[in-house]
Amino acid sequence: MADAGSILGNAVMRLEDPELLTGAGRYVHDLESPGAARVVFVRSSIAHGLLRSVDVDGARGMPGVVAVYHAGGDDLGLMPFQSFPMLAESFNRPVFARDRVRFVGDIVAAVVAETGPQAVDAAEAVVVEIDPLPVVVSQEAALASEAPLLFPDHGSNVCFATSFGEDEDPLEGAEVVAEVAMVSQRLAGVPMESNGCLMVPGDPPAGITCWISHQAPHSVQPALVGVLGLEPEAVRVVCPWVGGGFGPKAAVYVEFLVAAAAALQLSRPVKWVETRSEDMVALVQGRDYVMNAKLGLTRDAKIVGLDANVVASGGAYPALGAVLPMLTQMMVVGVYDIPKVRFQGATAVTNTTPVGAYRGAGRPEATQLIERVLDVAADQMGVDPAEIRRRNFLDPAAFPLTTITGGAYDSGEYAKALDAALVAAGYDELRSEQARRRAAGESVQLGIGVSAYVEVTAPLGLHTEYGAVEVHEDGTASMAVGTSSHGQGHHTAFAMVASDVLGIPMDKIRLVNSDTAAVPRGSGTLGSRSLQTAGNAVLAASQVVLVRARQIAAHELEASPDDIVVGEGGVHVAGMPGRTVLWEQVAAASRDASRLPPGLEPGPLRHEGDFDGTNSTFPFGAHVSVVDVDTETGKVTMRRHIAVDDCGRILNPLLVRGQQHGGIAQGAAQALFEWVQYDGDGNPLTTNLMDYAIPAASELPSFEASNTETDSPRNPLGAKGIGESGTIGSTPAIQNAVVDALSHLGVRHIDMPCTPERVWQAITDATREAQR
Amino acid sequence: MKVRMTVNDKTEEHDVEDRQLLVHFIRETVGLTGTNIGCDTSSCGACTVLLDGESVKSCTVLAAQADGCAITTIEGLANSDGTLHPVQQAFHEHHGLQCGYCTPGMVMAAVSLIAEHGQLTEAEVREGLEGNLCRCTGYHNIVKAVLAASGSEVHA
């Protein structure tokens, strides 16, 4: 725990708020640049087809049109783009579709005009001829023999595969086998601010500044450098305020490449403002797994082995989403001691929007897989869902440990979180109420769903990060980090850390991030990695700055550095605050050789470094969902949601709570509401916020979120990520609750989203089956 | 055509295209970008402003229809001395915003809701804000903030 008097661990209100609450914060869409032209994309309305012709003559003559780009004409010299380095180059995406279109939304042409409306009008005038080809919508269809190939040169629709424990039958010796086939349906990220960019050439000279709405500017910068053929220092990428990301805004978009290349060619700024309906086909989507799980157990409900199979859809041009079955494989054992595992994962390309990372990214799928099959086993064996989990938890004494599937878990006390959740829920009373409603045959039944989860944050090698701290001659400080805040409250969180070390008030500490010209390197904000990486980098840099400050002040005060402590406005000899050397003075002295002790070089009062957490961290927790299910209509109403999430030591409970709430809502959204759908021809059916049902306030309850705190040993702050836990824990708890409400009727499984239609159908099917 | 209205008590008189939406008038013609656009189906409420004191999604109104009206946007809500409006202050205190993109619309909708109904219950807040979508907060803290601003007691 933090020392007495420390700010750490307190619910400190956000420094970010005043600007955002008054409308002063500027998002990319709000930025203007003199002379900026607007680019609008002409997208394929056919899911799969041969591109016969693109006639842009009509568009060229339209009012205000500056340029039209497409593969058959001026294509800006853009080479096919590789979305993720682990994938075969044969899946590279032609920036402008060449001989073939592969999804509704594929870019056929781009129109640049003086104004947005002119660009829209001209884009309408581009005439595209496409001969439709047979369409592959689902991953199962993509893997069928004789399936049409999206990339005939590659020879297969499989773009990624991963497996574990292939040779052994993990169910050998099992006395009971539970099996469930399930779907983690495709979701859209829907950040409230859609995608967009403003590319401004000539700044730096002979270069370009790229304003983008993004989570990871340092990942976009090298992609732009490569494509534009400029020196790295000539390409500056900046994210202003960003209106939500949730994973999809961590991808590099070909739209950025087009806008930047056009801006350079035309020597004028080019802006792209994505519309929502465009966003619903162009922004990478999430999930889309078809899964099967078989769990072997002994008669006393101890797990013997797990046999799991997942097939993911990568969409038309595979990206990060295609390799996520790798993370699913690692996390598939969850919080349980599972002696034997067989896992087979594959990803197929389909004629749909590409799949990327979306809040959870590979871990919600793993958690759903194990948590659903455990509930099926519990139901089958007549064991309470909480009890079956308790019997199989990994032993807290065994940490740190590496699981059979390679998860290097740092710390965990899974029973503690589950017990806390059960107590908070009043689990036994809920079960009594459920029994009462069942006995009474009430039309609205009570469902109680339990999940216990562990997830991985700062995954995929993303556990190092850059951070710098400087105290300036005006007494303020600044922190530069390689993460990229877009709603998480990093300014507040990191300022708490620096302020705790240096004693400088938080409102005098600036955050510099999201700008490749101001921060030399970074991996951005994704995978719930920011506090544990950049937060610790800020901590380390602050501490080094303090060491220097103490040396400087000790020299000035003719004291020993060991006796110098932080005080009001500066540093002083312990017990003698009357002779404080103000931060202004320390910072000035730091640059002045005449005021420095021997051995110190003059320079800014600053330190930069890279924090290395050595590995990922593994947050965990337990959720209890309480739902009403109307057996006559199939409607599910969330009554309560209890979440106990352990993200290590908590820096700011206000921010943690906010992440829990948002995560739970997005988990509930998958369990009950959202589903990106296509018809049989690959036409997307959910391309706006009327057809794609992100939940409103009226559809959710208030949440009962709390925490246990189990330090991570992998970083001095003891922190683990919290961004995705709510989503990972809540989804299977809610799905389990819906099934639990109906298990006495014979319902064994309902796929997500558990819509009234599906729930009603499941009840009807089970009732018919029972009557046979 | 020519339109004339007040935006945050300042008279704005401009020539606009017939098809221009009020939200584009506010953002592009007047240059106040606090009012955001989050969809193209009038679903999200990010563009909510007050028109003659009542909340309206400014993407559902033509600039021409607002001729002669008084518009209040998020920029016009705080006092001139910078003190936040009670609803803004409640959002701050209860962590009712994260990325901030839905916030201006959400705040304006809440101001109107409270003006109309006074002290609110949780159910009334949730129903009253169902036209405003937020992707970050799960609404929990927004609801708390609006309850508090309406004079109701709030719990964790």
pLDDT digit string, tens, across residues A261-312: 999 999 999 999 999 999 999 999 999 999 999 999 999 999 999 999 999 9
Residues of A in contact with B95 (CB under 8 A): 13-14, 654-655, 657-658
| pLDDT at A582 (0 to 100) | 98
With respect to residue A25, please indicate whether it lies within any of the assigned structural domains.
no
First to last CA, chain A: 61
- State if pTM tops 0.90: yes
User: Where is the domain boundary, A561, A584, A612?
Assistant: A612
Domain holding A524, by residue range, is 464-612
Angle, helices B86-93 vs B140-149, to 10°: value is 140
With respect to residue A149, please indicate whether it lies within any of the assigned structural domains.
no
* Residues A312 and A355: beta-carbon distance below 8 Å: yes
Instruction: State the pLDDT confidence band at A462, using cuts at 50, 70 and 90.
Output: very high
Mean pLDDT of A317-329: 98
Same domain (yes/no): A433, A394: yes
With respect to residue A335, please indicate whether it lies within any of the assigned structural domains.
no
Same domain (yes/no): A568, A704: no
CB contact under 8 Å between A16 and B140, yes or no, is no
Amino acid in the structure at residue A58? G
**Structure token pair of residue A118:** 């002119």
pLDDT digit string, tens, across residues A129-141: 999 999 999 999 9
| B79 interfaces chain A, CB cutoff of 8 Å | no
Residue A167 has pLDDT above 70, yes or no: yes
Q: Count contacts between A and B (CB, < 8 Å).
A: 172
pLDDT digit string, tens, across residues A495-543: 999 999 999 999 999 999 999 999 999 999 999 999 999 999 999 999 9
CA A729 distance to own-chain centroid: 14
Which of A19, A20, A29, A724 is the best residue to mutate to test the B interface, defined by the most B CB atoms within 10 Å of its own CB? Answer: A20
| B60 interfaces chain A, CB cutoff of 8 Å | no
With respect to residue A327, please indicate whether it lies within any of the assigned structural domains.
no
| pLDDT at A772 (0 to 100) | 82
* Residues A240 and A28: beta-carbon distance below 8 Å: yes
Domain ranges of chain B: 2-76, 86-149
| A689 interfaces chain B, CB cutoff of 8 Å | yes
User: Where is the domain boundary, A593, A612, A631?
Assistant: A612
Same domain (yes/no): A384, A477: no
Residues of A in contact with B140 (CB under 8 A): 661, 665, 702-703, 705
* Residues B28 and B12: beta-carbon distance below 8 Å: no
Residues of B in contact with A191 (CB under 8 A): 99, 101, 135
Which of B124, B139, B153, B155 is the best residue to mutate to test the A interface, defined by the most A CB atoms within 10 Å of its own CB? Answer: B139
Residues A565, A574: Cα–Cα separation, whole Å: 6
Mean residue pLDDT of chain A comes to: 97
- The CATH number assigned to the domain holding A219 equals 3.90.1170.50
| pLDDT at A4 (0 to 100) | 61
With respect to residue A314, please indicate whether it lies within any of the assigned structural domains.
no
User: Where is the domain boundary, A282, A299, A314?
Assistant: A282
| B121 interfaces chain A, CB cutoff of 8 Å | no
> Radius of gyration (Cα) for chain A, nearest Å?
28
Which of A17, A187, A727 is the best residue to mutate to test the B interface, defined by the most B CB atoms within 10 Å of its own CB? Answer: A17
Residue B63 has pLDDT above 80, yes or no: yes
Residues of B in contact with A14 (CB under 8 A): 92, 95
Mean pLDDT of B92-108: 98
Instruction: State the pLDDT confidence band at A20, using cuts at 50, 70 and 90.
Output: very high
**Structure token pair of residue A482:** 């390689």
**Structure token pair of residue A147:** 């399936």
Residue A238 has pLDDT above 60, yes or no: yes
Helix%, strand%, coil% for chain A, nearest 5: 35, 25, 40
Residue A2 has pLDDT above 70, yes or no: no
| A728 interfaces chain B, CB cutoff of 8 Å | no
Instruction: State the pLDDT confidence band at B156, using cuts at 50, 70 and 90.
Output: low
Residues A533, A541: Cα–Cα separation, whole Å: 12
Residue A1 has pLDDT above 50, yes or no: no
CATH topology of domain B2-76: Ubiquitin-like (UB roll) (3.10.20)
Say what the ipTM of the complex is: 0.98
Residue B105: Cβ-neighbour burial (10 angstroms; 0-12, 13-18, 19+): buried
Q: Identify the closest residue of chain B to A489 by CA–CA distance.
A: B98
Residues A340, A154: Cα–Cα separation, whole Å: 35
Q: Identify the closest residue of chain B to A190 by CA–CA distance.
A: B135
| A696 interfaces chain B, CB cutoff of 8 Å | yes
Mean pLDDT of A447-460: 98
- Which residues, numbered 488 to 547 in chain A, qualify as contacts with chain B under a Cβ-Cβ cut-off of 8 Å? 488-489
User: DSSP of A500-553, one letter per residue?
Assistant: HHH---GGGEEEE-SBTTTSS----S-TT-HIIIIIHHHHHHHHHHHHHHHHHH
Which of B95, B113, B126, B152 is the best residue to mutate to test the A interface, defined by the most A CB atoms within 10 Å of its own CB? Answer: B95
User: DSSP of chain B, one letter per residue?
Assistant: -EEEEEETTEEEEEE--TT-BHHHIIIIIS---SS----SSS-S-TTEEEETTEEEETTSSBGGGGTT-EEE-GGGTS-TTSPPPHHHHHHHHTT--SS-SSHHHHHHHHHHHHHHHSS--HHHHHHHTTTS--SSSTTHHHHHHHHHHTT-----
Same domain (yes/no): A428, A501: no
CB contact under 8 Å between A694 and B41, yes or no, is no
| B1 interfaces chain A, CB cutoff of 8 Å | no
Same domain (yes/no): A537, A577: yes
Same domain (yes/no): A371, A475: no
With respect to residue A173, please indicate whether it lies within any of the assigned structural domains.
no
Same domain (yes/no): A590, A513: yes
pLDDT digit string, tens, across residues A473-491: 999 999 999 999 999 999 9
Tell me which residue of B9, A578, B55, A655 sits closest to B22, measured CA to CA.
Answer: B55
Total domain count, chain A: 3
Residues of A in contact with B109 (CB under 8 A): none
Which stretches does DSSP call E strand in A298-376?
303-315, 340-349
| A734 interfaces chain B, CB cutoff of 8 Å | no
Residues of A in contact with B49 (CB under 8 A): none
Q: Identify the closest residue of chain B to A242 by CA–CA distance.
A: B99
pLDDT digit string, tens, across residues A549-594: 999 999 999 999 999 999 999 999 999 999 999 999 999 999 999 9
Same domain (yes/no): A382, A424: yes
Residue A415 has pLDDT above 90, yes or no: yes
Q: Identify the closest residue of chain B to A704 by CA–CA distance.
A: B156
| B72 interfaces chain A, CB cutoff of 8 Å | no
Q: How far is B115 from chain A (nearest CA, A)?
A: 19
Tell me which residue of A233, A252, A239 sits closest to A211, measured CA to CA.
Answer: A239
| A654 interfaces chain B, CB cutoff of 8 Å | yes
Mean residue pLDDT of chain B comes to: 97
Same domain (yes/no): A540, A428: no
| A18 interfaces chain B, CB cutoff of 8 Å | yes
Residues A34, B130: Cα–Cα separation, whole Å: 38
User: DSSP secondary-structure letter at A746?
Assistant: T
Residue A376: Cβ-neighbour burial (10 angstroms; 0-12, 13-18, 19+): buried
pLDDT digit string, tens, across residues A204-224: 999 999 999 999 999 999 999
Residues of A in contact with B131 (CB under 8 A): 696
Which of A21, A26, A32, A249 is the best residue to mutate to test the B interface, defined by the most B CB atoms within 10 Å of its own CB? Answer: A21
* Residues A580 and A572: beta-carbon distance below 8 Å: yes
**Structure token pair of residue A679:** 């018809």
Same domain (yes/no): A637, A545: no
| pLDDT at B155 (0 to 100) | 75
pLDDT digit string, tens, across residues B72-92: 999 999 998 989 999 999 999
* Residues A236 and A517: beta-carbon distance below 8 Å: yes
pLDDT digit string, tens, across residues A682-734: 999 999 999 998 999 999 999 999 999 999 999 999 999 999 999 999 999 99
The minimal CB distance from A275 to the residues B27, B40, B131 is found for B40
Class of domain B86-149: mainly alpha
- The CATH number assigned to the domain holding A586 equals 3.30.365.10
3-state secondary structure string across A284-316: CEEEEEEEEEEEEECCCCCEEEEEEEEEEEEEC
pLDDT digit string, tens, across residues B106-117: 999 999 999 999
With respect to residue A474, please indicate whether it lies within any of the assigned structural domains.
yes
Q: How far is B112 from chain A (nearest CA, A)?
A: 16
